[in-house]
Amino acid sequence: MEHNTVQVQGVGVGRGVAVGLVLTMPEPLPEPAEQKHGGDAAAEKAAVSTAVTAAAAELQARAEKADGAGKEVIEAAIQMAQDPMLADDVTARIDAGTTGERAVFEAFRSFQEQLIALGGYMAERSTDLGDVAQRIIAQLRGVPVPGVPESDTPFILIARDLAPADTALLDLNQVRGLITRDGGPTSHTAILARAKSIPAIVGVGADAAIADGTRVVLDAASGVVTVDPSDEQVADARKRIADRAAQAAAPITDGALADGTKIPLLANLGSPKDAADAVALGAEGVGLFRTEFLFLDAQTAPTVADQQQQYTELLSHFPGKKVVVRALDAGADKPLAFLNDAHEENPALGVRGLRALRAKLQILTDQLEALKNAQDETAASGAPADLWVMAPMVADAGETRYFVEYGKQLGLKTVGVMAEVPSLALVAEQVAQIADFVSIGTNDLTQYTLAADRMLGTVASYQDPWHPAVLRLVKMLGDAGAAAGKPVGICGEAAADPQLAVVLVGLGATTLSMTPAALADVRTELAGVTLEQARAKAIAAIAAESAAGARAAAAAVA
């Protein structure tokens, strides 16, 4: 009998594989009817207020049981539930005669539409807002909130998109994998699946109807869900799951290619608090420490002493290892009130990164001093870390010289620049003479090369670091670094994509830095290729005409 297998394509998160029976997340509560209340607006408002308080309390209870990224997303949802602008909108609708339930529904929907219109990351936050509305309406109706289905046996959860409160509390013993119809690669489902290493495929589309109880194979590396797989397909998937488990259980080795070429695998960190987890996952140092967290929410810059304490704590986790700290990168997607005070029509092309620091020199001076003090403290400890410091958004050799000279004048040992602006790559051989090292930020380099705002969902398809134009700039930087004997690292998201990581090494990257959850998959992929093979894949990729073409061309090289 012929086997009736169907394949559904989505966007895979990570490289996990799962086999199991699917269970569908219940659909949202039905939309409240368009009704007028009986005239007692005060009673409606009081009921809504009680419901909001109860929904927030319920979320708070969930937040207390969650941890890490899960806790943060639930706390963000609690803030949304209590947003004064939304509350005003609900009140105005009740005053106009609408029932409380309907007023909540309409006010949240209007807010959701505004977020969707913004596209990208903001559009994906609209799911979170919809979840908060459901919780408030469920409280008003006195019915349970739709949530993750319960089952005594493990299952693969399929949902339209998962809300933060659900993903944060997923029982990992029961949920083998996640499939969403709507979510994109930056949805909460994707972020949390990555953080918790749950195999996931997002955005399979509304038509992907898979009945409860159907067996599927989920292959995140290819983004394919195989519905009703054959026995051979199940056996193959089970073997791959076992192989991955064996890899995860094996002692962690340093990053290296099949021919023994060392490629140190480093962590991107945003706080010293995340350092211990990164070390446990085998990070061989830090390739990008984003210092913005020290400054976010602050009305004024933190003091030298405050900063020094954070940097010293960071260094203490990496004795004998390299730690690359980036000077404050304020502006555009990371605005800071006290640094970016002027209105700019195009902030990504404005006074950001190093430009903003030079405009407010005291902030840069304080930060470099704090780093120098931390460098001295680690040197005095029995087990010093090796501190490297780099500047963001550097445009040319002149800016490179400025930052390197200033850093050295203030006593820093190793000073380099990030390559995020295409102009820097175009003068790469000049830069490589001046800087001690270069670190390529592929997120911004892609944004500027393809002229595609990284915050804008409508141009997200241009934001693909596989584009041969981006890869050619990486090659220029890699070649210049090799000629001058200077290290060239990668610290953008591109390094976390295992196949792309191989190509980046082929283009001349000497280290790769990424979110720690991606380290294991990249380590495995690198171990399977020689430098010669990585170079052959890189040559094939840069000859392609598109990002998709580059992916396919690299994959076709054995």
What is the closest distance, in whole angstroms, from the C-beta atom of residue 252 to ligand PEP in the complex? 24
Three-class secondary structure assignment of 116-179: HHHCHHHHHHHHHHHHHHHHHHHHHHCCCCCCCCCCCCCEEEEECCCCHHHHHCCCCCCEEEEE
What is the closest distance, in whole angstroms, from the C-beta atom of residue 489 to ligand PEP in the complex? 10
Taking the C-alpha atoms of residue 335 and residue 341, their distance in angstroms, rounded to an integer, is 9
**Residues 6+ away with beta carbon under 8 Å from 336:** 292, 295, 296, 298, 328, 330
What is the closest distance, in whole angstroms, from the C-beta atom of residue 280 to ligand PEP in the complex? 23
480 binds, among Mg ion, ligand PEP, none (CB under 5 to 8 A by kind): none
**From the list 101, 366, 444, 453, which residue makes contact with ligand PEP (rule: CB under 6 A)?**
444
Taking the C-alpha atoms of residue 142 and residue 516, their distance in angstroms, rounded to an integer, is 42
**From the list 106, 166, 284, 420, which residue makes contact with ligand PEP (rule: CB under 6 A)?**
420
CB 534 within 8 A of CB 502: yes
Radius of gyration of the CA atoms of the chain, in A: 25
For tokens 């393809």, what's the residue? Answer: 450
**From the list 443, 524, 533, 546, which residue makes contact with ligand PEP (rule: CB under 6 A)?**
443
- In 298-312, which positions are buried (b, 16+ CB within 10 angstroms) versus exposed (e)? eeebbebeebbbbbb
Our CB check for ligand PEP shows the closer of 284 and 329 to be 329
Which residues make beta-bridge pairs with 416?
390
**From the list 48, 288, 412, 460, which residue makes contact with ligand PEP (rule: CB under 6 A)?**
288
Instruction: Tell me: does residue 546 bind ligand PEP (CB under 6 A).
Output: no
Helix axes 442-449, 468-484, angle to 10 degrees: 130
Applying CB under 6 A, which part among 164-172, 302-310, 405-413, 438-446 lies near ligand PEP? Answer: 438-446
188 given a catalytic annotation: yes
- In 79-107, which positions are buried (b, 16+ CB within 10 angstroms) versus exposed (e)? ebbebeebbebbbebbeeebbbbbbbbbb
3 given a catalytic annotation: no
Instruction: Tell me: does residue 287 bind Mg ion (CB under 5 A).
Output: no
Instruction: Tell me: does residue 9 bind ligand PEP (CB under 6 A).
Output: no
Instruction: Tell me: does residue 473 bind ligand PEP (CB under 6 A).
Output: no
Instruction: Tell me: does residue 498 bind Mg ion (CB under 5 A).
Output: no
Instruction: Tell me: does residue 441 bind Mg ion (CB under 5 A).
Output: yes
Instruction: Using CB positions, name the residue nearest to Mg ion.
Output: 444
Our CB check for ligand PEP shows the closer of 4 and 346 to be 346
What is the closest distance, in whole angstroms, from the C-beta atom of residue 363 to ligand PEP in the complex? 17
Catalytic residue among 3, 317, 343, 491: 491
Nearest C-alpha neighbor of 180 from the set 165, 195, 154, 199: 199
**From the list 240, 290, 401, 472, which residue makes contact with ligand PEP (rule: CB under 6 A)?**
290
What is the closest distance, in whole angstroms, from the C-beta atom of residue 441 to ligand PEP in the complex? 3
Applying CB under 6 A, which part among 96-104, 214-222, 395-403, 437-445 lies near ligand PEP? Answer: 437-445
Three-class DSSP category at 230: coil
Size of the site for Mg ion (CB under 5 A): 3
Our CB check for Mg ion shows the closer of 19 and 354 to be 354
Taking the C-alpha atoms of residue 160 and residue 181, their distance in angstroms, rounded to an integer, is 5
**From the list 491, 512, 544, 547, which residue makes contact with ligand PEP (rule: CB under 6 A)?**
491
Q: Which residues are part of the catalytic machinery? A: 188, 491
Positions in the binding site for Mg ion (CB under 5 A):
420, 441, 444
Positions in the binding site for ligand PEP (CB under 6 A):
288, 290, 329, 420, 441-444, 491-492
